[in-house]
Amino acid sequence: MDSGIGLLAATAAVRRLRPDADLVLSLDPEGMPWGPRTPEDLTRRALAVAEAAAAHRPHALIVGCNTATVHALPALRARLEPGIPVIGTVPAIKPAAAGGGPVAIWATPATTGSPYQRGLIDAFADGVPVTEVPCWGLAEAVEHADEAAVGAAIAAAAELTPDEVTTVVLGCTHYELVAERIRAAVQQSDAPPLVLHGSAGAVAAQALRRIGEQPAPDAPAEGTLTVLLSGREGELPATALTYAEGRLLPAASPAR
């Protein structure tokens, strides 16, 4: 679940680990973006999106959105667990800081500076220089596959990123869809290769662990795909096909 196509990163990671998995993607195009909403409003919409997915009786629910995890994860778990394990998406600050930094965390304005993100920095980045970078408009630009707007938002965030940064945490799942564009914007010509840390792979692996399943990347690609748009069955947004992660999915047949 996510407000929009940011969930593609985790979805593609699950598809690669388990091509046979039946997937339900629950999006909220009527409410996207969630970032500018109040925590209360965001939580209300996240619960509605989660309950639409839960009606399909999934084995687990991945919250494929950092902002929703920051503000709504306790409410989602209170509503759905223990019947449906809920896996949040946490910015990959711990592995990024383990590299020694300096680190920049690119995130939505709603996540940047939040007590949740600050808590992760305090817990896992002790002694490592960390810069929190609010990425105004980037998630929305990625959602609409607006190439010019994506470029402008990345350039603006790159301006806020110190030159000495060696590692960037992609603290919004939408950003993982344009990771290489972010790398190109931040990479200094005379510096070692920039390290990017997303969350999709770790989240997909955690979801399998929570339901007692093992990766089976060679399984026949027979998994079905159901798309929910603000609670109603629909089609994968056309913009999803702009990204490699989205193009993995149409090969799956729709659920019957």
Catalytic residue numbers read 65, 172
Three-class SS state of 171: coil
Q: Which two tokens stand for residue 198?
A: 């997303």
Q: Say if residues 226 and 25 touch (Cβ distance below 8 Å).
A: yes
Q: In what order do the strands lie in the sheet with 232-234?
A: 23-27, 225-229, 232-234
Q: What angle do CA 12, 18, 19 make, to 5 degrees?
A: 75
Pairing relation of β-strands 86-87 and 61-62? parallel
Q: In terms of Cα–Cα distance, which of 8, 116, 128, 101 is closest to 62?
A: 8
